[in-house]
C-alpha cells in the first residue's frame, strides 16, 4: 500500500474552494425547530441515517415538546418513539439525563457554549459543534462525522483518524468562512462522488489535486 500523502496547503485551499462551490447549496440534514429539538435529534442521529431520524421526529416532537417533557419521560414510552435508531435505549437515557441536567443546572435552557454542552451526557464535540452552529449560529469548530473522517484522510487534509485531531487539522486549512458547512459539503461529496467502496475519481472535480489516500 502506498504511503499517506498530505495535500500541499495551496492545493488544499483550491480543493476546499472547488468543493464549497460545487455543493454551495448544502445545508444541515436533520429537521428541527429550536435548540431542544436539535439536541434530541442530534443525539438520536449518532450511527443512524438522518432519514430514519427525520421520519420519527415529527411524532416524537408532537408528544414531547419541552425540556420537562423529556426530563420526566418514562423511558419505555420514549423508547417506543425512537426504537428505529441504533442504540435506542442508551440514547433515550442520554436524552432524559441531559434534560434533567438542563432543567436543574441551566434553568431549562440549552447551553450555548462548548464547555457546558460537553458536560452533558451523550454530547461529544461533533454534536456540540452541530448544536452551536445550527441552533445558535455560533461557529467555533467543525463537526467531524464519519464522512469528514473518511474524506479528510482520502483528500490528505489530515492523516489522523481521531475526530479531535482531524478538527484541529481542518481548522488550520479551511478558511473560517467555510467551517459552518464544511462537514455537510464533505458528506454531500461522499454521497455524490467519493463513495466509500468505489469513489468515482474519473468524474471528480478535484481529481487532479487529490492524493486519493487509501483508494486503489
Ligand atoms: S472521488 Fe477520488 S479524486 Fe475525488 S475526492 Fe474521492 S478519492 Fe479523491
pTM: 0.93
Q: Are residues 167 and 114 in the same domain?
A: no
Q: Given pLDDT bands bounded at 50, 70 and 90, which one contains residue 3?
A: confident
Ramachandran angles phi, psi of 4, nearest 5°: -60, 135
Q: Given its phi and psi angles, is residue 212 left (phi above 0), alpha (psi -120 to 50 degrees) or beta?
A: left
Assigned C-alpha cell, 58: 415529527
Q: Of 136, 160, 185, which closes a domain?
A: 136
Co-location of 54 and 119 in the same domain: yes
pLDDT at 1 over 70: no
d(CA 126, ligand 1 centre) in Å: 24
- pLDDT, tens only, 33-74: 999 999 999 999 999 999 999 999 999 999 999 999 999 999
Q: Is the CB of 41 inside a 6 Å radius of any atom of ligand 1?
A: no
The answer to whether residues 125 and 76 belong to one domain is yes
Q: 98 and 125 share a domain?
A: yes
Please indicate, yes or no, whether residues 127 and 162 belong to a single structural domain of this protein. no
CA dihedral 45→46→50→53, nearest 10 degrees, is: -30
CATH value at residue 150: 1.10.1670.10
Residue 26 pLDDT more than 90? yes
> How many domains, in total, are found in the chain?
2
In which domain, by residue range, is 124 found?
A: 35-136
End position of a domain, from candidates 136, 151, 181:
136
Q: What is the rounded distance in angstroms from the CA atom of residue 171 to the CA atom of residue 176? A: 7
83-99 average pLDDT score:
98
Q: Quick one: 49 and 105 in the same domain? A: yes
pLDDT above 90 as % of the chain: 96
Is the C-beta atom of 175 inside 6 A of ligand 1?
A: no
Instruction: Tell me the percentage of the chain whose pLDDT exceeds 70.
Output: 99
Contact 157/116 with Cβ under 8 angstroms? no
Instruction: Say how far apart CA 60 and CA 78 lie, in whole Å.
Output: 8
C-alpha dist (Å) from residue 201 to 23, 72, 77, 149, 204: 17, 51, 47, 18, 5
Amino acid at each position: 500500500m502506498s504511503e499517506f500523502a498530505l495535500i500541499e496547503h495551496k492545493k488544499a485551499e483550491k480543493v476546499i474552494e472547488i468543493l464549497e462551490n460545487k455543493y454551495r447549496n448544502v445545508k444541515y440534514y436533520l429537521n428541527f425547530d429550536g435548540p431542544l429539538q436539535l439536541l434530541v435529534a442530534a443525539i438520536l442521529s449518532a450511527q443512524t441515517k438522518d432519514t430514519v431520524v427525520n421520519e420519527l421526529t415529527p411524532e416524537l416532537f408532537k408528544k414531547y415538546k419541552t425540556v420537562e417533557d423529556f426530563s420526566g419521560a418514562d423511558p419505555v414510552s420514549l423508547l417506543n418513539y425512537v426504537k428505529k435508531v441504533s442504540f435506542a435505549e442508551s440514547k433515550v437515557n442520554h436524552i432524559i439525563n441531559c434534560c434533567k441536567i438542563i432543567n436543574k443546572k441551566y434553568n431549562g435552557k440549552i447551553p450555548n457554549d462548548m464547555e457546558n454542552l460537553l458536560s452533558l451526557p451523550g454530547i461529544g464535540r461533533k454534536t456540540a459543534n452541530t448544536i452551536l452552529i445550527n441552533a445558535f449560529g455560533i461557529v467555533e469548530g467543525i463537526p467531524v462525522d464519519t464522512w469528514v473522517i473518511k474524506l479528510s484522510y482520502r483528500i490528505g487534509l489530515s492523516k489522523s483518524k481521531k475526530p479531535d485531531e482531524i478538527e484541529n487539522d481542518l481548522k488550520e486549512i479551511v478558511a473560517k468562512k467555510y467551517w459552518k458547512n464544511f462537514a455537510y459539503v464533505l458528506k454531500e461529496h461522499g454521497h455524490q462522488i467519493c463513495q466509500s467502496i468505489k469513489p468515482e475519481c474519473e468524474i471528480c472535480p478535484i481529481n487532479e489535486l487529490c492524493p486519493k489516500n487509501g483508494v486503489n
